Amino acid sequence: MSIRWRRREGLHALLWLSPWLAGFAVFFLYPLLATVYFSFHRYDMFTLEFIGLDNYRYLLHDPRALVAIKNTLWLVAFMVPVQLVFALGLAQLVTRLKTGAGLFRTVFYLPSLVPLVAGTVSFVFLLNPATGPLNEALRVIGVSGPDWFGDPAWSKPSLTLLGMWGIGNVMVIFLAALLDVPRHLYEAAEIDGAGAWRRFRSITLPMISPVLMFSAVTGVIYALQYFTQAMIAARVASGTTDSPGTTFVPGYPEMSTLTLPQWLFYAGFRDYSMGYACVLALVLFAASMVFTLVLLRRFRGLDEEAGVR
Amino acid sequence: MRGTRARRALYWIATHALALALAAMFLAPLVFVGLTSLMTDQQALTSQLWPHSWNWDNFAEVFERSPLLRWLANTLLYAVLGTAAMLLSSIPVAYALARFRFPGRRLAFLLVITMMMLPPQVVAVPVYLIWARAGLTGTLWPLILPMLLGDAFSIFLLRQFLLTIPKEYVEAARVDGCSDLRTLIRVILPMARPAVAAVALFQFFYCWNDYYGPLLYASTNLDNWTLSLGLASFKALHSVQWNLTMAATLLVMAPVIIVFFLAQRVFIEGVTLTGVKG
* CATH classification of the domain holding B107: 1.10.3720.10
> Which amino acid belongs to residue A60?
L
Tell me, yes or no, whether B264 lies in a domain: yes
Q: A27: distance to nearest CA of chain B, Å?
A: 7
pTM tops 0.95: no
**Residue A202 placed within a domain:** yes
For residue A217, list chain B residues with Cβ-Cβ distance below 8 A: 117
According to the per-residue pLDDT averaged within each range, which of A9-13, A90-94, B229-233, B254-258 is highest? A90-94
Domain-located, residue B123: yes
Chain B residues with beta carbon closer than 8 angstroms to that of A169: 271, 274
- Determine whether the interchain pair A24/B267 forms a contact, defined as Cβ–Cβ distance below 8 Å: no
The domain in which residue A267 lies consists of 63-309
Q: For position B278, what pLDDT does the model report?
A: 39
pLDDT tens for chain A, 309 residues long, are 456 666 777 788 889 999 999 999 999 999 999 999 999 999 998 899 999 999 999 999 999 999 999 999 999 999 999 999 999 999 999 999 988 999 999 999 999 999 999 999 999 989 988 778 888 888 888 888 898 999 999 999 999 999 999 999 999 999 999 998 998 999 899 888 888 889 999 999 999 988 898 899 999 999 999 999 999 999 888 887 766 666 666 888 889 999 999 999 999 998 899 999 999 999 999 999 998 888 888 776 554 444 332
**Residue B103 belongs to what domain range?**
77-227+259-274
- Note whether B257 contacts A113, CB cutoff 8 Å: yes
Q: What angle do CA B143, B198, B180 make, to 5 degrees?
A: 85
Residue type present at position A134: L
- Domain holding A186: CATH number? 1.10.3720.10
* B19 in a structural domain: no
Number of domains, chain A:
1
Mean per-residue pLDDT, B165-180 = 85
Which residues of chain A does B128 touch, with a Cβ-Cβ cutoff of 8 Å? 268-269
pLDDT tens column, B50-82 = 888 778 888 888 898 889 999 999 999 999 999
Report helix, strand or coil for A41: strand
Which residue(s) pair with A212 in the sheet?
Answer: none
Does residue A54 lie in a domain region?
A: no
State the ipTM, two decimals: 0.90
What does the pLDDT look like over B75-85, one tens digit per residue? 999 999 999 99
Inter-chain residue contact B163 with A306, CB threshold 8 Å = yes
Burial category of B17 from C-beta neighbours within 10 Å (exposed 0-12, middle 13-18, buried 19 and up): exposed
CB contact under 8 A, A296 and B128: no
Q: Is A269 within 8 Å of B212 when comparing Cβ atoms?
A: no
Say if B28 falls within a structural domain.
no
Residues 40-79 of A with CB under 8 A from B: 45
* Upstream peptide bond of A129 is cis (omega within 30 degrees of 0): no
Q: Is A221 on the interface with B (CB under 8 A)?
A: yes
Is the residue at A168 inside a domain?
yes
pLDDT computed for residue B269 by the predictor: 79
* Residue B61 domain-assigned (yes or no): no
Query: Chain B contact for A9, CB < 8 A?
Result: yes
Q: Which of A233, A221, A258, A239 is nearest to A69 (CA)?
A: A258
Do the domain assignments include residue B39?
Answer: no
Q: How far is B121 from chain A (nearest CA, A)?
A: 6
- Please count the residues of chain B: 278
What pLDDT is stored for residue B234 in this prediction? 86
Stretch 180-209 of chain A: residues touching chain B, C-beta under 8 Å: none
User: Is the residue at B186 inside a domain?
Assistant: yes
Is residue B45 domain-resident?
no
Tally of structural domains, chain B: 1
Rounded Cα distance between B232 and A240, Å, is 9
∠ Cα B80 B82 B87 (to 5°): 95
CB contact under 8 A, B30 and A111: yes
CA of B149, closest CA in chain A: separation in Å? 5
Q: Which amino acid is at A272?
A: Y
DSSP A110: G
If DSSP codes are grouped into helix, strand and coil, which group holds residue A43? Answer: strand
- Is residue A171 included in any domain, yes or no? yes
Would you call A95 an interface residue with chain B, using a CB distance cutoff of 8 Å? no
Q: Is residue A23 part of a domain?
A: no
In a domain, A114, yes or no: yes
